[in-house]
Amino acid sequence: MTTSLSCVYVTHLVTPKYGSTEAECEDAVAVLPGCAHDDMLRGPLTAGVCDGATESALAKDWARLLSRAAAEQAMECPELLAGGAAFERFASSAVARWEPWLAAYKRARVADGRPLKWYEHTKLAAGAYATLLTVRIDPEPGPGPALTPGPDACEPAAWRWRAAALGDSCLFQLRDDRLLQAFPVATPEEFGTAPDLFGSRNHDAGLLARRARFARGRCEPGDRLFLMTDALAAWFLTAADQDSAVRELLDFSGPDDLDAFRTWLDGLREGRQLRNDDVAVVRIDFEGR
């Protein structure tokens, strides 16, 4: 006899706005552990999703650095997702990564014969900015051991998620493919033109912690989480038929769907349903087997 195991599948898609190249995309995603979209995960999972602010210099690079820092730190120190001193330590450590990276960037520009222009120095002095959504998912042990010993010796009965957000990148929890919880933005009216941002030179970790928002929830087999940057999140919350919107999102389940995903997004833009912006989405499926 074999026992069924509860597991998680995760995939993510990132694509630039219409008219931009992959290299210009300012949305970024980091997921740990690194895995293929069809790998079954039964241990902790973390993700960082960032949307670089176009008006700041090197926003795409800061978004990538910050999303990676968030995923790594949430894996090492889950307490940061409760706020307070732990989040402050994370904020300080993330900002501390920027100056060494920037120094290496400047050296590379010089070596390439393209030293920084005077106006670039001015913009860089102000720092780079991005929104941040970071999530950690942990298995919630079942009532008894599985029959087969080993790493799967206790089957997860459910999964707990914790999240921190600064800005308007969003988490949506679906149950029976219907919206159960939205964080940190719950209504279309909450999207604005000036979301809170995480600055690469903001050394006031206490301020960042006070502006961040925190949430938690519980997922059962069959639930899904979607993590999205603001353009796609706003489309989802404003959809006239949310059931149809969910069905459309579920068409894209892995990296092989990226071209179809881009075509779908372009159709929404042409129909003026989606703002022309970079898009990042992480899909997490909770399944019982």
In tens, the pLDDT along 72-109 reads 999 999 999 999 999 999 999 999 999 999 999 999 99
CB 219 within 8 A of CB 173: yes
CA distances from 242 to 237, 245, 266, 270 (A): 8, 5, 19, 20
Instruction: Give the mean pLDDT of 121-138.
Output: 95
Instruction: State how far the Cα of 243 lies from the Cα of 195, in Å rounded to an integer.
Output: 28
In tens, the pLDDT along 227-283 reads 999 999 999 999 999 999 999 999 998 899 999 999 999 999 999 999 999 999 999
How confident is the model at residue 175, as a pLDDT? 96
How confident is the model at residue 156, as a pLDDT? 63
Instruction: State how far the Cα of 253 lies from the Cα of 179, in Å rounded to an integer.
Output: 18
Say if residue 130's pLDDT is above 70.
Answer: yes
How confident is the model at residue 145, as a pLDDT? 47
Contacts of 129 (CB under 8 A, 6+ apart): 52, 53, 55, 56, 59, 62, 197, 198, 199, 200
Bridging pattern class, strands 178-183 and 198-199: unpaired
Instruction: State how far the Cα of 276 lies from the Cα of 266, in Å rounded to an integer.
Output: 9
pTM: 0.91
Supply 278's token pair: 């970079």
Instruction: Give the mean pLDDT of 189-204.
Output: 91
Mean pLDDT of the chain: 91
How confident is the model at residue 289, as a pLDDT? 44
How confident is the model at residue 254, as a pLDDT? 87
In tens, the pLDDT along 148-171 reads 444 444 466 789 999 999 999 999
How confident is the model at residue 38, as a pLDDT? 74
Instruction: State how far the Cα of 78 lies from the Cα of 183, in Å rounded to an integer.
Output: 18
How confident is the model at residue 1, as a pLDDT? 31
In tens, the pLDDT along 9-64 reads 999 999 999 999 999 999 999 999 987 777 778 889 999 999 999 999 999 999 99
- Three-state DSSP class for 157? strand
How confident is the model at residue 288, as a pLDDT? 62
